[in-house]
């Protein structure tokens, strides 16, 4: 973990932000619940432990079954966790005491995990507000319901704490946390570069492993082995597919065939739990066909355009729209769409080809803070989420500030089911050249993705060694 | 998955077993709930999907959000799952219909996932018994509670269905499932051998990766990469440690140092979700010291003795005790214990050195069916679980029958905290040479584990290539 000062400072800033939301004596408590182990097969055979990200951000302690309360009126902080007994020592080895773990996070009061119930019950009995974040895990949903008396189905709802007697997650706390986690500190940027390095190493190994005739899973195993050697694991389930038109294809059971496009969307989570998230698309035979190259170059140019526009002050929504415009101009050159580009942008025609957003925030979560609420995380208060396909899926629309870390991931896909739907509904009939699109039925999809840090005067990509992206460079890398 | 006949036959056998527990018309329904995705970071960033094992056994369908009802009175079977819509197709690709998935499992009636609520409500309203298995996952705990009206804290309790109006998991169903899953079918044994081959490949790569000065995690990454290339993943979190005296040490942050013993306890889960589970202990420098070799040979001989005793009819509890006896005899030769071996066996002195049991059942779960209840799974009705350290942790005590698959994993550990506890309490003071034990303070631990199939006339180890186990063979393998 970072030094205790990092966590103490973050909690002090949080306390100040929360202090602004209510008068002293009326603030209540902030209740944080870390994750417990998650069963894979049976209770004691758990998935690799992954701590809650907001817990990691404010407390750093990377162990299951911990909780904490910050008294927002007095500033008192208490860690709730259990000391080990002899059975635990036999199975898990000698462990530091809870008090010393608390001290590592700069907390000087600790109590048993179950005594959290007493603390929360007491706060409830005296009518204090209980601020908590919407839980990610089912266990925490049940635990928060049982602690606070909120119905299970309401535990995850976010609203201002005054409403409904505070019997839901706290919008004040959610907003305060988002405002902090959106702007990465220098120590976090170091970690994101480290996760970037790991992710780039994964992708390099994957690219070098592509061979006709092997099963996709063999490449996945090679690349995931790389991250497990040095990091926590993959930052999300690896997408590696010759059917890139399926956006989140997690099956890896196909033989690598000649002439296909292989989309590899994968990233690393390092041991401090920071993420990277890169996508590259490779011609399985090592050379692009000219048809593939035409589409590929559009996506590469959109990726570059987005990067060149990224700087403080611009709304990422506008960067998305700029790439959509470029994409449509270039698809028009190929006669796949026709007509006025401005009209096509307004109609959301780009969504037929790229039904997802340009990018998302990234940090401790690969879609940073997604469970705190996509709109609260990704949209400024004056921004409304669009309903168009594509733009409507944009997870990060905000005006950029230095310290934001976002992905830049345009893509073009030819999705037969979606094309058939639009065609049959008449959607885009004034613009889309449906007859020419038929020859792209088996094309697949292309996506290119980098991770980008917004700097005071522009942007830089995270990770030390940007993966080849231009088609010639891709072909060179695959032949070497 | 296997052919549909496999699943149809299993369900028919289950139906017959359940028919024997109640008269026709009074049997009720058996309700099976598959797993949903489990969030790692946030809801949509899930751990690799792992289906519930009993679901896999009876239905084979390896996808989230499925449930099934078997009417135990009429034999009617219904699969509950949802067909995909256009959004799903964009993100996940075209999918077979629920009806065709049901047909793959030999089920000819299907309905939407949510209509399960209607089916269960109707069964409850007409006073029918609801038989279900105790859930593994928190989500299924909540879902079963909400479906059946059983309190969350009672959902996992197992008792005969008549008691308490059936408002808990069904002991009848649990026992019927255990009786079937305990005896592996030929098609399962093939899969266990396949998982064994993968696990043996993992261990071979790990052994070849041991080098002084590297971080343990690098070896873990190498070996886990192997299984990800061909299988689902590790069958449990890998134990790889130079502090083998900590039985389940999941940290891999230590530098490989000379003169240590490295315990590697790891296994593979293949794509059909069958497990392997092997342990080997290596001298980090490539050669055992004579002190290490003395203890190592005892463990190797206990492992061999257990295998030689394993055959139909013997209780695995007695095999455990036989290895404990051999261990004590040989520790007596080293003057680590003194006195009458029979008395030491009776007093459970072996538990100081091996505080765990000799082995467990293995199949679709690495500790097979652990969540159905350790005692129901591992003990015959006339066997009582011991309370001694070691024997009390034995997960598989039953009289063996052909088709059982069990682990054979003796170990000797020198656990400073446990030795100090026994010494201060005076436990074993007539037998244990505590002063000599002091020189083993930094020894660590040794465990050796194979997976064993009980055959009609004895036993055989699963996996095609048994890992080297004799100390000379270990040293040869490490030097080549």
A39 → closest Cβ in B41, B45, B137: B137
Mean pLDDT of A387-392: 94
Instruction: Specify whether the backbone of A160 is left (phi greater than 0), alpha (psi in -120 to 50) or beta.
Output: beta
Q: Which residue has the higher pLDDT, A251 or A402?
A: A402
| CA–CA min distance B241, chain A (Å) | 11
A246 → closest Cβ in B48, B92, B217: B92
| CA–CA min distance B218, chain A (Å) | 4
| Residue-by-residue DSSP string for A368-385 | TTGGG-HHHHHS-TT---
Chain-chain contact of A225 with B230 (C-beta, under 8 angstroms): no
At residue B145, the pLDDT reads 94
Under 8 Å between Cβ of B21 and B174: no
In chain A, which residues have their Cβ closer than 8 Å to the Cβ of B44?
A: 367, 370
A212-245 tens-digit pLDDT: 999 999 999 999 999 999 999 999 999 999 998 8
Residue A362 pairs in a beta bridge with none
Q: Which residue has the higher pLDDT, B377 or A253?
A: B377
> Mean pLDDT score of chain A, rounded to an integer?
95
| CA–CA min distance B417, chain A (Å) | 7
Is the pLDDT score of B256 beyond 90? Answer: yes
**CB contact B53 to A (< 8 Å):** yes
Is the pLDDT score of B188 beyond 90? Answer: yes
What topology does CATH give the domain A4-181? Creatine Amidinohydrolase; Chain A, domain 1 (3.40.350)
* Cα R_g (chain A), whole angstroms: 24
Is the pLDDT score of A250 beyond 90? Answer: no
In chain A, which residues have their Cβ closer than 8 Å to the Cβ of B41?
A: 50, 53, 136, 236, 364-367, 370
Residue B231 token pair? 């299988």
In the DSSP assignment, the letter for residue B259 is T
In the DSSP assignment, the letter for residue B374 is H
At residue B301, the pLDDT reads 98
With H, G, I as helix, E, B as strand and everything else as coil, classify residue A277. coil
User: Which residue does chain A place closest to B420, by CA atoms?
Assistant: A86
With H, G, I as helix, E, B as strand and everything else as coil, classify residue A230. helix
Name the pairing type of β-strands B169-170 and B158-159: parallel
d(CA A184, CA A187): 8
At residue A422, the pLDDT reads 96
Mean pLDDT of A400-416: 97
| Residue-by-residue DSSP string for B191-213 | HHHHHHHHHHHHHHHHHHH--TT
For residue A253, the tally of other CB atoms under 10 A from its CB is 8
d(CA A337, CA A440): 13
**CB contact B460 to A (< 8 Å):** no
What does the CA dihedral B245, B246, B252, B258 come to, rounded to 10 degrees?
Answer: -10
At residue A166, the pLDDT reads 63
Mean pLDDT of A86-114: 89
**CB contact A109 to B (< 8 Å):** no
Name the residue among B417, B282, B283 with its Cα closest to residue B355: B417
d(CA B238, CA B205): 14
User: Which residue does chain B place closest to A351, by CA atoms?
Assistant: B90
User: CA dist A97 to A103, A111, A112, B247, Å?
Assistant: 10, 11, 11, 20
Chain-chain contact of A221 with B227 (C-beta, under 8 angstroms): yes
Instruction: Specify whether the backbone of A463 is left (phi greater than 0), alpha (psi in -120 to 50) or beta.
Output: left
CA contacts within 13 A on the Cβ side of B464:
7
At residue B164, the pLDDT reads 64
A:B CB pairs within 8 Å: 184
Residue B69 token pair? 């009802």
At residue A429, the pLDDT reads 96
A151-205 tens-digit pLDDT: 888 999 999 987 666 689 999 999 999 999 999 999 999 999 999 999 999 999 9
- Domain spans in chain A, listed from the N-terminal domain onward: 4-181, 186-479
Percent of chain B clearing pLDDT 70 (strictly above): 99
Which of A35, A42, A241 has the highest number of chain B CBs within 10 A, making it the mutation to test binding with B? A42
In chain A, which residues have their Cβ closer than 8 Å to the Cβ of B444?
A: none
For residue A312, the tally of other CB atoms under 10 A from its CB is 16
Is the pLDDT score of A457 beyond 90? Answer: yes
ipTM rounded to 2 decimals: 0.92
Mark which residues 320-359 of A lie under 8 Å from B by CB.
355
Least confident window among A340-354, B86-100, B205-219: B86-100
Chain-chain contact of A249 with B92 (C-beta, under 8 angstroms): yes
| CA–CA min distance B457, chain A (Å) | 32
| Residue-by-residue DSSP string for A130-197 | EEEPPPSSHHHHHHHHHHH---GGGTT-EE-TTGGGG-SEEHHHHHHHHHHHTS--HHHHHHHHHHHH
User: Which residue does chain A place closest to B363, by CA atoms?
Assistant: A41
User: Which residue does chain B place closest to A134, by CA atoms?
Assistant: B42
d(CA B198, CA B464): 10
Mean pLDDT of B400-409: 98
Element (H, E) at B458: strand B458-461
Is the pLDDT score of B162 beyond 80? Answer: no
| CA–CA min distance A418, chain B (Å) | 7
**CB contact A367 to B (< 8 Å):** yes
Mean pLDDT of B235-247: 90
Name the residue among A116, A140, A141, A120 with its Cα closest to residue A131: A120
Is the pLDDT score of A249 beyond 90? Answer: no
| CA–CA min distance B114, chain A (Å) | 16
Burial class (CB in 10 A: 0-12, 13-18, 19+), A37: middle
pLDDT class of A1 with cuts at 50, 70, 90? very high
Chain-chain contact of A90 with B417 (C-beta, under 8 angstroms): yes
B49 alpha carbon, distance to own chain's centre: 18
At residue A266, the pLDDT reads 98
Residue B257 token pair? 């140092």
Chain-chain contact of A225 with B220 (C-beta, under 8 angstroms): no
pLDDT class of A85 with cuts at 50, 70, 90? confident
At residue B205, the pLDDT reads 97
d(CA A305, CA A311): 12
Chain-chain contact of B230 with A237 (C-beta, under 8 angstroms): no
Mark which residues 222-251 of B lie under 8 Å from A by CB.
222, 224-230, 236-237, 243, 245-249
Mean pLDDT of A118-137: 95
| Residue-by-residue DSSP string for A431-444 | TB-HHHHGGGTTT-
**CB contact B113 to A (< 8 Å):** no
End-to-end alpha-carbon separation of chain B, Å?
39
Least confident window among A214-228, A374-388, B143-157, B161-175: B161-175
Element (H, E) at B350: helix B350-353
Chain-chain contact of A246 with B415 (C-beta, under 8 angstroms): no
Element (H, E) at B7: helix B4-19
Helices A4-19 and A171-181, axial angle in degrees (round to 10)? 130
Is the pLDDT score of B87 beyond 90? Answer: no
Chain-chain contact of A38 with B47 (C-beta, under 8 angstroms): yes
Q: Which ranges constitute the DSSP H helices of B86-168?
A: 86-92, 98-104, 115-125, 138-148
Is the pLDDT score of B353 beyond 70? Answer: yes
A47 → closest Cβ in B38, B45, B141: B38
Residue A227 token pair? 């991250």
| Residue-by-residue DSSP string for B412-439 | EE--HHHHHHHHHHTTTTTTB-HHHHGG
| CA–CA min distance B79, chain A (Å) | 22
Angle at B122 (CA atoms; ends B117, B128), nearest 5 degrees: 115
At residue A162, the pLDDT reads 75
What topology does CATH give the domain A186-479? Creatine Amidinohydrolase (3.90.230)
A221 → closest Cβ in B220, B225, B365: B225
d(CA B480, CA B477): 5
Is the pLDDT score of B195 beyond 70? Answer: yes
Is the pLDDT score of A297 beyond 90? Answer: yes
**CB contact A151 to B (< 8 Å):** no
A90 → closest Cβ in B38, B136, B418: B418
In chain B, which residues have their Cβ closer than 8 Å to the Cβ of A47?
A: 38, 40, 47-48, 50
Q: What pTM value is reported for the model? A: 0.94
Mean pLDDT of B100-128: 95
Residue B447 pairs in a beta bridge with B411
């Amino acid at each position: 973990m970072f030094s205790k000062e990092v966590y103490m400072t973050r909690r002090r800033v949080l306390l100040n932000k929360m202090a602004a939301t209510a008068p002293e004596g009326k603030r209540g408590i902030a209740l944080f619940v870390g994750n417990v182990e998650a069963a894979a097969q049976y209770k004691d055979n758990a998935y690799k432990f992954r701590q809650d990200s907001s817990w990691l951000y404010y407390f750093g302690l990377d162990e299951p079954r911990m909780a904490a309360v910050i008294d927002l009126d007095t500033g008192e902080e208490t860690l709730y966790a259990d000391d080990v007994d002899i059975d635990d020592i036999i199975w898990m080895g000698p462990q530091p005491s809870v008090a010393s773990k608390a001290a590592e996070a700069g907390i000087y009061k600790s109590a048993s995990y179950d005594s959290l119930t007493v603390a929360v019950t007491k706060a409830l009995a005296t009518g204090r507000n209980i601020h908590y974040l919407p839980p990610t895990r089912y266990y925490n949903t049940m635990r928060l319901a049982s602690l606070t008396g909120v119905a299970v189905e309401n535990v995850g709802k976010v609203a201002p704490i005054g409403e409904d007697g505070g019997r839901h997650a706290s919008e004040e706390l959610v907003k305060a946390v988002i405002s902090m986690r959106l702007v990465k500190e220098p120590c976090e940027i170091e970690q994101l570069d480290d996760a970037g390095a790991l992710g780039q190493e994964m992708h390099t190994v994957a690219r070098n492993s592509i061979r006709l005739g092997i099963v996709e899973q063999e490449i996945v195993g090679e690349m995931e082995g790389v991250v497990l050697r040095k990091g926590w694991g993959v930052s999300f389930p690896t997408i590696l597919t010759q059917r890139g038109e399926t956006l989140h294809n997690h099956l890896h059971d196909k033989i690598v065939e000649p002439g296909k496009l292989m989309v590899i969307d994968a990233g690393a989570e390092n041991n401090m739990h920071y993420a990277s998230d890169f996508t590259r698309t490779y011609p399985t035979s090592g050379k692009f066909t000219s048809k593939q190259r035409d589409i590929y170059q559009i996506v590469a140019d959109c990726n570059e355009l987005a990067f060149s526009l990224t700087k403080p002050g611009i709304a990422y929504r506008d960067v998305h729209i700029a790439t959509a415009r470029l994409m449509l101009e270039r698809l028009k050159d190929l006669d796949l769409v026709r007509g006025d580009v401005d009209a096509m942008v307004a109609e959301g025609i780009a969504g037929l080809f790229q039904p997802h957003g340009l990018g998302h925030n990234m940090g401790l979560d690969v879609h940073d803070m997604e469970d705190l609420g996509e709109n609260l995380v990704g949209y400024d208060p004056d921004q409304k989420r669009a309903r168009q396909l594509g733009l409507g899926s944009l997870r990060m629309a905000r005006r950029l500030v230095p310290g934001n870390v976002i992905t830049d991931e345009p893509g073009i896909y030819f999705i037969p089911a979606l094309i058939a739907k639009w065609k049959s509904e008449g959607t885009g009939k004034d613009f889309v050249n449906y007859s020419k699109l038929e020859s792209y039925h088996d094309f697949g999809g292309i996506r290119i993705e980098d991770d980008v840090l917004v700097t005071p005067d522009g942007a830089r990509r995270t990770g030390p060694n940007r993966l080849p992206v231009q088609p010639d460079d891709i072909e060179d890398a695959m032949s070497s």
